[in-house]
């Protein structure tokens, strides 16, 4: 009886390892670069992307910014991405309706996770776009003034 339970646990571990190894982490390219930086009088923001079970867009801040979570606008393959498919994380916690704005002062990071029901596929067909909005503000002026394009290569 004890050997049978042990074999089941080992079998589940092997299946789990196979599942995780099927989706290896890869870099998402932002405006055809591994990372994309925007500098202003408030400081700088670097945008990077990775994929592992879900697609993650990371905004790394150095400076003084305000992030308005509700203003994030994403389009995937010419279709608006529904808010239910996106999670915005700050300090490893999901920002929800109770916390819509974050003041960044110094070095900090905000991540955007796009659920795996909308994964980016390799090649030039799939395209995720961050549309200009008031998502990131520098002195009450929107930081993102051009479309930021994200692809998996």
Phi-psi region of 31 (alpha: psi -120 to 50; beta: other; left: phi over 0): left
Q: What is the rounded radius of gyration, in angstroms, for the C-alpha atoms of the chain?
A: 18
* DSSP H helical ranges for the chain: 2-22
What pLDDT is recorded for position 127? 86
Residue 123 has pLDDT above 70, yes or no: no
Question: Are the beta carbons of 106 and 42 closer than 8 angstroms?
Answer: no
Give pLDDT, residue 91.
83
Q: List phi, psi (to 5°) of 18.
A: -65, -40
In whole numbers, what is the pLDDT of the chain averaged over residues?
A: 83
Average pLDDT over residues 102-129: 80
- Give whole-number Cα distances, 56 to 30, 96, 131, in Å: 12, 17, 16
Where does the chain show beta strands of DSSP type E? 26-30, 35-40, 43-52, 54-68, 74-76, 79-80, 86-90, 93-95, 101-114, 128-130, 136-138, 141-142, 148-152
Asked if 151 contacts 120 with a C-beta cutoff of 8 angstroms, the reply is yes
- Architecture field, domain 25-152: Sandwich (2.60)
Q: How confident is the model at residue 104 (pLDDT cuts 50, 70, 90)?
A: very high
Residue 17's contacts (CB-CB under 8 Å, 6 or more residues apart) are none
pLDDT tens column, 62-86: 999 999 988 999 998 888 888 788 8
Show me where the domains of the chain are located: 25-152
């Amino acid at each position: 009886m004890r050997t049978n339970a042990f074999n089941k646990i080992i079998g589940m571990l092997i299946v789990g390892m196979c599942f995780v190894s099927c989706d290896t982490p890869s870099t998402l390219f932002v405006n055809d670069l591994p990372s994309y930086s925007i500098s202003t009088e408030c400081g700088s923001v670097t945008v990077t992307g990775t994929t592992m079970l879900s697609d993650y867009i990371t905004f790394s801040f150095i400076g003084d910014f305000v992030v308005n979570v509700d203003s994030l606008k994403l389009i995937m393959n010419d279709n608006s991405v529904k808010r239910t498919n996106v999670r915005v994380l700050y300090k490893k916690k999901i920002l929800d309706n109770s916390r819509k704005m974050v003041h960044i002062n110094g070095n900090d990071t905000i991540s955007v996770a796009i659920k795996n029901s909308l994964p980016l596929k390799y090649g030039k067909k799939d395209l995720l776009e961050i549309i200009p909005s008031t998502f990131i503000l520098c002195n009450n002026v929107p930081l993102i003034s051009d479309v930021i394009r994200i692809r998996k290569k």
